[in-house]
Structure 1
Amino acid sequence: MFKASLVALSTAALAAAALQGPPAQADQTSAKTAQAVTTTAKTAAKKAKEPKRRATVVGKGGAVTSVDPYASRIGLKVLKEGGNAVDAAVATAAALGVTEPYSSGLGGGGYFVYYDAKRGKVSTLDGRETAPRRIKPDAFIDPATGKPYTFTPDLVTSGVSVGVPGTPKTWQAALDRWGSMDLADVLAPAAKLARNGFVVDQTFAQQTADNRERFNAFSSTRKLFLRHGQAPKAGSVLRNPDLAATYDLLSRKGMGAFYKGPLANQIAKTTRKPPVRKTDLPVPRGSMTPKDLRKYDVVQHEPTQVDYRGYDVYGMPLSSSGGTTVGEALNILERYDLKSLSPAQVQHLVIEAAHLSFADRAKYLGDQDGVPVSTLLSDLYAQERACLIDPTKAFAVPVPAGNVANADGVCATPNTRGEDAPDTENVNTTNLTVADKQGNVVEYTLTIEQTGGSGIVVPGRGFLLNNELTDFSTVYDPADPNRIEPGKRPRSSISPTIVLKDGKPFLAVGSPGGSTIITTVLGILVNRIDLGLTLPQAIAAPRVAPSNKTPVPAEQAYLDAYGAALAALGHQLTVVGAAGTSAAEIGAATGIEFGPGQQLTVAAEPVRRGGGAATVVKK
C-alpha cells in the first residue's frame, strides 16, 4: 500500500537564530528468522526515493508533522486515502516506533489529546505506564548497599524500571472512539517500513553509540541494534523484521494479543529475567506479571483548561503534570502586559513563573486523589503566586510551593526557601501533530523515557521496553505525591496542548524533552500569543528550561541573546549539554496553526534533532 523510502538525515545542531527464550509457537514462524540487517546507503538508494524533509509548509486539506520524514509521510498518505486525524496519528506513531525506537514504540506510553470538530470538544487519553502490582517501596534501593541505585546506567538499565506499557491500548482506544480505519490498515505501512528499513541518520547512529554499553548488556538488543557489537553507521539501512512481525500479529489478533497470551507472558518474563549477556551492570529485576498487562487500561480524563488572553488553552491532566503546570504559569504571566516589556524583561517573568509553577508541581502533583488542580489553575491563586515576582530581581531558587489550603489572592512572602526536588525525567521522547480536512486535531506525545528506554528489547519482537518507573521519586516518602505504589502511574511532564479561539482550533503544539517539555510549550505559547512571532519562528526561537533549580539550563543561542541581561537581574544560567551534540538542544516541537479560509501553517524544528518533517495534503 505504501512504498518505504530512504533518507539521509542531517546532523542535530542548535538553531542559533531564533527474555531469552523464543517467541510463542503460535506466531514465531516469521520472527524466527528475523534479524536486523544493514546495507549500504548506495544499494538502498536504488530501491526507493528519499522522502523530503521540510520544517514548515502551508496548505489545506489536512496535515501531519513529526520529527521524522518517514513517519510524517505515512501519516499524510493515510489522510490522502480518506483516513481522519486519529487514523493518521496512530499510523504516524507506529512508524515512529520503527524510525524513532529509542524514543517511542509498543513498549512505552504517552498522552493523546483530541479535538472533535463535530462536537467542538477536547478529550484526552492517558496511556501512561503503570507500576506492577508487586512492586515494593524500596524497589530502587540496592540491597547490597542500602542506597539508591545509581540512576544511570544502573537503574535505567533494568527490569525494575519497566512500567506496564500503555501505547498499544492508546492506539486501540483512540481508533475505537474516534477513528475511521481498522487497526490492521493503520499498522500496515509501519510494518512495511520495518521490513524494508530506513536510512540511519547521524542522530540515530550517535544515540546507538552512546548506549553501546547498555545495549551490549542484552543479547536481544545487541542483535537488533549492535550488529557485530558496533553501532550502525550513518547512511546504512536498518531493518527490523521482528517488529514487522509483531505489527502483523497485532493486526491479525488485535491489541488484546499484546496484553493477553504468549506476547504478554513474554513481556512480563523479560522484565523479571532480562536476557543479560556479559555485563558489569547490576540490571535489577522487575516484578511484572501477565496479570499486570491483562489489567492495564487507558484512562479518559477531562483536559485541563485555562483562559489566557482570550484563548482557551487545553492540556493534559494528571497523571501528567504538563497541563496543570503550563496552565499555572500562563495564569501568572497573564498578570503582566508582556507586549509592553523588553525581551529580557519578558524572559525574566517567564523564568520566574516557571519556577513558581514547578514548585507547586513538586509539592502537589501526582497520580492520586485529592490533588488541588482547580486551585492551582485558579486566577486567584495565580495572583497570589505572582506577588512573589520582583520585576527588577530574580528570587532565590528553589522557591517554596504555595499554600493551596489558604489561597485567597492576598500577597504572602515566604520566609523559607523551597526544597530542591530531584528530576529524573529524560529528554528523549517524540511528538506529533495531525489535522484532517474535517477540522479534527490530534496532539500526541509518546515515549519510552530514557534514550533507548530500559535498554531491553523483547527477544524476537523488535521493540524496546520503557524505563518509565524511574519517573517516580527514587526514595519512598509517604508524603510525596510521586511516591512508588502498585498500579500507580509515575508523574510526567508531557504537555500536548490544543488552543481554541472562539471555540475553534487556533493552535496545536507539543514537544519531547522530559521536564523541559513544560517550558518548551510555555515558551512557544508566549512567543506566538504575546510576542507575535509566527508559529515557525516561535518553535525555532532559542529556549530556556527553568524548573525551580539553579543554575537554569539554556541553549547557547538563548544565552547569547539574553544571558547578560538576565545575569544582571540575578539569574544563574548555564548552557545545556555540549556543543555539537543533541544534548545542546531543548525539545523537538511540532505544531499546526489554523488560519482563515482553512489554511494550515504546519511546523517542525528547522534544526533541532536533525530537523523535523512538516507535511500538508494540498499546498
Structure 2
Amino acid sequence: MPARTPRPPRSRRPARRRAAVAAAVPPLLLSLLVAPPAAADSGPGREPPAASPVAAGHGGAVASVDPYASRAGLEVLRAGGNAVDAAVATAAALGVTEPYSAGIGGGGYLVFHDARTGRTHTIDGRETAPAAMRPDSFTDPATGRPIPFDEAVNSGLSVGVPGTPATWEKALEEWGSVSLAEALRPATRLARQGFTVDEEFRAQTAQNEERFRDFTPTAELFLPGGELPEVGSVFRNPDLAGTYRLLAREGTGALYGGRLGREVVRTVRRPPVAPDAGRTVRPGLMTASDLDRYRALHRKPTRVEYRGVEVYSMAPSSSGGTTVGEALNILEEFDLAGMDRSQALHHYLEASRLAYADRNRWVGDPAFSDVPARELLSQRFAGERACLIDPGRAMAGPVAAADPRDPASWECTAAEGGGEPYEGPSTTHLVTADRWGNVVSYTLTIEQTGGSAITVPGRGFLLNNELTDFDFTPLSKEVDGPNLPGPGKRPRSSMAPTIVLQDGRPLLALGSPGGSTIITTVLQTLVNRLDLGMTLPRAVAAPRLSQRNTATTQAEPEFMETAPERAALERLGHRFVLPPGAFTPAPEIGAVAALEVLDDGRVLAVAEPERRGGGSAMVLRPAR
C-alpha cells in the first residue's frame, strides 16, 4: 500500500487545557464537514441511509452496527480525512444512534495501524474508579455480603470516570488530520436533526423502560411524552448536540476539569431519581479531582503469530488481547483445517475454556497487579495447556488456572477451578480504513445496555456502569484476585479490538460488543476465516458458540436448531444453552464489525447481516 501523505504539524499542548483549535486542513475539507452534500442529508425525518452488511471497494471503508454512524465516518473519508478521523466521527455518531451501548459517558479501547511507520498502536480509554473506591465498596457493611447486582448497576456507585472523550482527543492529536471540533460535526448535526427509530432501538428502549422511568432526565429523553419511541418516528437529541458543541469549543477540558465535569459529578453523587421510583439508588463516589486526574494511556499491543500472520490486540487493563492470544497459541498446536467441523469446534471451545481460566485468575489493571501478560502469551505455556485437550472428551468445567510463570503448575491434569465473573453484554465496535492504508479497530461502551440508566440532566448522554466489571468479592479465601475495586483502578474488560497483519500490512481488522463473549466472538471469527476457509462475510454470519470456563456453553438459536455438529459435540460432553437476553432483545452473541484487505487492493467491509438488527458496511468507491 502507498505511504500516507504527511500530516500537518499539530500542537502538543495538553489538549484538555485548551480549546479545540481547528487544524490546518484544506478549505474543501472544512466546507464538506460543515455542509455535507444534499444527497447525504435530506433533513429531519429522512429515511435512514441504505444499510448493507457487505461492501467492497477503494479509497476507504467503515463498518459499524448503524448506517447513520457508518455514513458519518465515510463523510469524513470523502472529505480527505484519514482512518482515525473517520473512527472518531463514527463513534460520535454511534453516541447519537446507539446511546444505550456507547457514548461520551463511557470508555473503550482503540487499536491503530499506521501505514507510514508500519507500527501498531493502542489507546487504553477504560474508565477508572474514583479515588474513594475501596475493595469492599460493593459490599453491604451490615451483612458483609455483596450488594444486589441490580442495585449496583442502577446507581452512582457503578459510574467510572469516562474515558471516551479523552480517547478521541488523544487519537486525533497523535494520528488524526482534523480537530476534535471537525470530527464531531457530523454527529452534532445528526443529534440535532434526528434519526429514524427502528425496531432495534425501540426494543432496547422497551428492555430498559422500567429502570429508565426511575430517573427523571432519562425518562424525559428516551421515553418522549412518557411513551416508547415509535418505529418510523424521528428521534432528536438537542441536548447531546449542545454537549458536542461544548466539546468542540472547549475541548475535553470541559469534562476533565470544566463545567461539564462538574455536572457529571453532581449527577453521580446525587442521582436524579424520579419521585415515584421504588428502587434504592446509591450515590456515587466520583469527585472533580477524579476527572481532572484521568488520562487515556498508550499501551504496547499484544502480539501473537498464528498460521503465518501477526495478531495485534489490546493489552491489560483489557483481557481481550491476552485471552484471544493465548487461545490462538493453544490452537496453533493443532491442525484445525484438517479436522472435521465438529472436531474443529471442539478444539476451539476447549482452548477458550483454558484461556478463560487463566484470564480470570491473572488479568487486571497492570498498575495495581503484576499481570503476567508476556508469559500468558508464550507459545511454550500454550503448548503445555494444549495437552489438556482430549479429542474424545470435553473437560468438565470450570477448570483451574495455571501459573504461566511456574512450570510446576503445568501438569497435564484439569483440576477444578472458579466460575466466570460477570461482565455486561452491551458495547459497540467499529472499523475504519483509509486510502493510505491506515486501519482502526475501536471498541467502546457504557457497559450494560443502557449503562447505569442515569442521564446527565440537559446533556443528552447516559453514564456508564463500568465499575460493576470489578469482582465484588475475592476469587476465593486464599486469592483476592487482580480485579477487586480500588482507587483509580481500571476494571478488567474483555474488549478485543484486533488488527491482523500479513507480511507487515493489514489483512484483517475486527472486534465485537458482547461483554465477556467479546473474546470468544473475535476468536471464533478468526478461526472461521483463517482455519475453516470461510470468507469474511460467512465468518461473521456463522452461528456462534461461547465457552468461558463454565459448565455449559452458550450457543445461538441457529446452532441449537439446525447445526449438524451439535449432536457430535454433545456426545463429547459439551452441554449447550441459549445466551440470556436480559439486556438485549435477542439471544445472540456479539455483533462483529470487520474489514479485510483483499489481494487486488480492494477493502472488503463487513458488518452483521442480522444481529443487533443488522449492521452497515460502506466503502468510498464501491467496486464489484
TM-score by length of 2: 0.90
Alpha-carbon offset, residue 578 of structure 1: 6.2
Of the structure 1 ranges 473-482 and 243-252, higher mean CA displacement relative to structure 2 is found in 473-482
Q: What secondary structure, in the 3-state scheme, does the structure 1 residue paired with 2:297 have? A: coil
Q: What secondary structure, in the 3-state scheme, does the structure 2 residue paired with 1:339 have? A: helix
Partner of residue 248 from structure 2, selected from 248, 251, 261: 251
Alpha-carbon offset, residue 316 of structure 1: 0.3
Per-residue CA distance 1:336-377 (angstroms, 9 max, x = gap): 111110100000000000000000001100003421111110
Of the structure 1 ranges 467-476 and 224-233, higher mean CA displacement relative to structure 2 is found in 224-233
Please give the alpha-carbon distance, in whole angstroms, between the structure 2 residues aligned to 1:579 and 1:420. Answer: 20
Alpha-carbon offset, residue 45 of structure 1: 8.6
Please give the alpha-carbon distance, in whole angstroms, between the structure 2 residues aligned to 1:469 and 1:584. Answer: 25
Report 1:324-343 matches (<5 A): 324-343=322-341
Please give the alpha-carbon distance, in whole angstroms, between the structure 1 residues aligned to 2:585 and 2:215. Answer: 25
Partner of 2:287: 289
CA RMSD of aligned residues (A): 1.7
Partner of 2:611: 608
Alpha-carbon offset, residue 583 of structure 1: 3.2
Please give the alpha-carbon distance, in whole angstroms, between the structure 1 residues aligned to 2:582 and 2:293. Answer: 45
Alpha-carbon offset, residue 407 of structure 1: 2.9
Per-residue CA distance 1:427-485 (angstroms, 9 max, x = gap): 11100000000000000000000010000000000000000000000125672100110
Contact 1:264 1:293 survives alignment (8 Å): yes
1:172 aligns with 2:146: no
Change (3 A) 1:429 1:580: closer
Partner of 1:384: 384
Alpha-carbon offset, residue 385 of structure 1: 0.1
Contact 1:138 1:476 survives alignment (8 Å): no
Please give the alpha-carbon distance, in whole angstroms, between the structure 2 residues aligned to 1:326 and 1:318. Answer: 12
Per-residue CA distance 1:135-167 (angstroms, 9 max, x = gap): 132221234554322212x21100000000000
Contact 2:106 2:127 survives alignment (8 Å): yes
Partner of 2:270: 273
1:599 aligns with 2:602: yes
Partner of residue 180 from structure 2, selected from 179, 183, 202: 183
Please give the alpha-carbon distance, in whole angstroms, between the structure 2 residues aligned to 1:61 and 1:578. Answer: 39
Contact 2:44 2:194 survives alignment (8 Å): no
Please give the alpha-carbon distance, in whole angstroms, between the structure 1 residues aligned to 2:568 and 2:424. Answer: 30
Per-residue CA distance 1:367-397 (angstroms, 9 max, x = gap): 0342111111011000100011101000110
1:233 aligns with 2:234: no
Per-residue CA distance 1:514-572 (angstroms, 9 max, x = gap): 01000000001001011111100000000001000121111022223122111100011
Alpha-carbon offset, residue 581 of structure 1: 6.8
Please give the alpha-carbon distance, in whole angstroms, between the structure 2 residues aligned to 1:241 and 1:538. Answer: 39
Alpha-carbon offset, residue 70 of structure 1: 0.2
Partner of 1:22: none
Partner of 1:558: 559
Which AA in structure 2 matches 1:377? L
Please give the alpha-carbon distance, in whole angstroms, between the structure 1 residues aligned to 2:555 and 2:605. Answer: 26
Which AA in structure 2 matches 1:431? H
Change (3 A) 1:188 1:548: same
Please give the alpha-carbon distance, in whole angstroms, between the structure 2 residues aligned to 1:112 and 1:355. Answer: 26
Which AA in structure 2 matches 1:537? R
Per-residue CA distance 1:485-524 (angstroms, 9 max, x = gap): 0000000000000000010100000000001000000001
Of the structure 1 ranges 226-235 and 301-310, higher mean CA displacement relative to structure 2 is found in 226-235
1:301 aligns with 2:299: yes
Partner of 2:585: 582
Alpha-carbon offset, residue 46 of structure 1: 7.8
Partner of 2:539: 538
The sequence identity of aligned pairs, in percent, is 55
Partner of 1:40: none
Q: What secondary structure, in the 3-state scheme, does the structure 2 residue paired with 1:62 have? A: strand
Which AA in structure 2 matches 1:229? G
Partner of 1:420: 419
Contact 1:326 1:519 survives alignment (8 Å): yes
Please give the alpha-carbon distance, in whole angstroms, between the structure 1 residues aligned to 2:348 and 2:230. Answer: 41
Which AA in structure 2 matches 1:118? R
Partner of 1:493: 494
Report 1:200-239 matches (<5 A): 200-239=197-236
Which AA in structure 1 matches 2:269? R
Which AA in structure 1 matches 2:193? N
Please give the alpha-carbon distance, in whole angstroms, between the structure 2 residues aligned to 1:91 and 1:341. Answer: 43
Q: What secondary structure, in the 3-state scheme, does the structure 1 residue paired with 2:384 have? A: helix
Please give the alpha-carbon distance, in whole angstroms, between the structure 2 residues aligned to 1:579 and 1:540. Answer: 22
Please give the alpha-carbon distance, in whole angstroms, between the structure 1 residues aligned to 2:457 and 2:474. Answer: 32
Partner of 2:120: 122
Which AA in structure 2 matches 1:225? F
Please give the alpha-carbon distance, in whole angstroms, between the structure 2 residues aligned to 1:340 and 1:440. Answer: 34
Which AA in structure 2 matches 1:392? G
Partner of 2:404: 404
Of the structure 1 ranges 559-568 and 518-527, higher mean CA displacement relative to structure 2 is found in 559-568
Partner of 1:20: none
Alpha-carbon offset, residue 118 of structure 1: 0.3
Alpha-carbon offset, residue 73 of structure 1: 0.5
Which AA in structure 2 matches 1:583? A
- Structure 1 residue runs of 5 or longer lacking an equivalent are 1-43
Q: What secondary structure, in the 3-state scheme, does the structure 2 residue paired with 1:520 have? A: helix
Contact 1:105 1:448 survives alignment (8 Å): yes
Partner of 2:194: 197
Contact 2:470 2:485 survives alignment (8 Å): yes
Per-residue CA distance 1:566-590 (angstroms, 9 max, x = gap): 1100011112246997331110101
Please give the alpha-carbon distance, in whole angstroms, between the structure 2 residues aligned to 1:575 and 1:313. Answer: 30
Contact 2:105 2:464 survives alignment (8 Å): yes
Per-residue CA distance 1:247-305 (angstroms, 9 max, x = gap): 00110111111111211111111111001112121111111000000000001011000
Please give the alpha-carbon distance, in whole angstroms, between the structure 1 residues aligned to 2:146 and 2:160. Answer: 19
Report 1:318-467 matches (<5 A): 318-368=316-366, 369-407=369-407, 412-414=411-413, 416-421=415-420, 423-467=421-465
Per-residue CA distance 1:303-360 (angstroms, 9 max, x = gap): 0000001100001000000000000000000111111101000000000000000000
Contact 1:550 1:573 survives alignment (8 Å): no
Of the structure 1 ranges 138-147 and 423-432, higher mean CA displacement relative to structure 2 is found in 138-147
Change (3 A) 1:476 1:363: closer
Alpha-carbon offset, residue 415 of structure 1: 6.3
Change (3 A) 1:135 1:54: same
Deviating 4+ runs (over 3 angstroms): 44-47, 142-146, 577-583
